[in-house]
Amino acid sequence: VGLNQFSSSHSFFSAVCIPVFLPLTVLFLISVSRSPEASVLQWPPALPSSDQLWDPLAPVVLLGWMGLHILLYFLPVGKVSDGLTLRDGSRLKYPINGFHALCISSGLVMLFLGLGAPLGRLFELLPPLAVCAIGASFLFSIYLYIRSFWAPSHALALGGNTGNPLYDFFIGRELNPRIGSFDLKYFCELRPGLIGWVVINLGMLMKEVELRGSPSLAMILVNCFQLLYVADALWNEEAVLTTMDIVHDGFGFMLVFGDLAWVPFTYGLQAAFLVVHPQSLSALGAAVIIVLNGIGYYIFRKSNSQKNQFRRDPTHPSVSKLETIATATGKRLLVSGWWGLVRHPNYLGDLLMALAWSLPCGFSHLLPYFYVVYFTILLIHREARDERQCRDKYGVAWDTYCRRVPYRIFPYIY
């Protein structure tokens, strides 16, 4: 997911530093979120003590969770879609049953809760779980790196085969590693990590119930907003088949770690923060935040759907009346509708939602805003990269589009 930003900087330095720095960042952020000061700027930093980093239950939970999602992957429900055409002319088949996996695993979690399982224990288990997820990401990436040497050359990613072992390990050599029909990259992209993220959030909510008798309004909002985001991603799972992650990027440490450790353990920091730092939220404040999340979601969903529909079938009644400009490639660019407002309306919506996830945590700390800050940097960088690619692809037509739609993400600002 987001971490693929680093693939554009073909530097040996990042390939060596990032696998050390980012896992430490995950542990640091979890540790700060539960410290009384919750200060990211405090020196020396609030690091977890070694006894907080290990619990024999953590690998059991992690393996059980991965096993469950592997089983759900093979569930014969939902449709089977073709991926884009590969370099050897073939197309891989992918099961579109991620939303079913979300519903069934949520049902199972609810069943466990009903049977009295102490889901709030996830709060104490969070650092050991993160340690196990980080360890598993390293082991899994080593396996992926080794097995890639048996892959035919057309199955390798163009960017991940520089011959520099560290860099290739980091970026990923093989494009679509599979065991039989089980696609390892597609499996990791949206399922165990994203669904794990919302289950961790629910665990934080249950911890709050243990500590204070009932969940706070702020905690309920954070849980609902992020569940909506994850459910939306899985409902639209087919769209992942045309993303850079699936189409261009090899499967190496960067994506593995991003999917299995970074997303589940840093995207939900607000809920972890709220367990130790309760916030009172007025009904009016909550209403404003709900409206903000709603507007963000509306812009995000409508703009993504509009472009997907236009790319799939430009004659469809919902997009056929929109104004477009021709390009030399034969493809057209939308210049009205959502894509006439700014050049990346989907990023605008995503960022408004990110802000709405942090606001329930109040203004006393920086930590709950980590995701908004990180995500703003990521999307600005991603936008610049996409812009370069589009200029190369569409040349003067892209310049015309930029003149017609001068703002990139924020109308009249940027």
Contact residues: ligand NDP, CB under 6 A? 1-2, 243, 300, 304, 307, 310-311, 331, 333-334, 339, 344, 346-347, 350, 382, 386, 389-390, 401
Q: How far is the CB of 300 from ligand NDP (least distance, A)?
A: 5
CB of 132 closer than 8 Å to CB of 125: no
Using only C-alpha atoms, the chain has a radius of gyration, in whole angstroms, of 22
Work out how close the CB of 346 gets to ligand NDP at its nearest, in angstroms, rounded to a whole number: 3
Q: Give the residue with the Cβ less far from ligand NDP, 216 or 304.
A: 304
* Closer Cβ to ligand NDP, 164 or 243, answer by number: 243
One-letter amino acid at 203 equals: G
Q: Looking at 279-414, which runs of residues are DSSP E strands? A: 324-326, 332-334
- What is the nearest approach in angstroms of ligand NDP to the Cβ of residue 170? 18
Indicate the SS3 state at residue 76. coil
Q: How far is the CB of 334 from ligand NDP (least distance, A)?
A: 4
CB of 149 to ligand NDP, least distance (A): 30
Nearer to ligand NDP, 281 or 409 (CB): 409
Q: Which two tokens stand for residue 113?
A: 């809760």
DSSP 115: T
Residue number with CB closer to ligand NDP (170 or 310): 310
Peptide bond into 44 cis (omega under 30): yes
Which amino acid appears at position 359 of this protein? Answer: L
Q: Rounded to the nearest whole angstrom, what is the least distance from the CB of residue 344 to ligand NDP in the complex?
A: 6
3-class state of residue 343 by DSSP: coil
User: How does DSSP assign 153-214, residue by residue?
Assistant: GGGB-GGG-SS-HHHHHHH-SBSS-EETTEEHHHHHHHSHHHHHHHHHHHHHHHHHHHHHSS
Closer Cβ to ligand NDP, 124 or 386, answer by number: 386
DSSP string across 300-325: HHHHHHHHHHHHH-TTSTTTTTS-EE
Least distance to ligand NDP, CB of residue 394, Å: 7
Q: Judged by CB, which is closer to ligand NDP: 128, or 349?
A: 349
Distance CA(180)–CA(121), nearest Å, equals 36
Smallest separation, CB 212 to ligand NDP (Å): 30
d(CA 32, CA 9): 29
Nearest alpha carbon to residue 275 among 50, 35, 26: 35
Nearer residue to ligand NDP within complex by CB, 65 or 339: 339
H or E element at residue 81? strand 80-82
Distances (CA, A) of 12 to 15, 118, 167, 379: 5, 45, 6, 23
- Helix and strand totals (H; E) in the chain: 16, 6
CB of 339 to ligand NDP, least distance (A): 4
Under DSSP, the state recorded for 121 is G
State the helix-helix crossing angle for 396-404 and 370-394, rounded to 10 degrees.
Answer: 130
Identity of the residue, 11 or 389, whose beta carbon is nearer to ligand NDP in the bound complex: 389
Q: Which is nearer to ligand NDP, 90 or 243 (CB)?
A: 243
Query: Taking the complex as a whole, how short is the minimal distance between the CB of residue 94 and ligand NDP, in angstroms?
Result: 17
One-letter amino acid of 323: E
Q: How many CA atoms lie within 13 A of 240 on its CB side?
A: 22
Closer of 32 and 353 to ligand NDP (Cβ)? 353
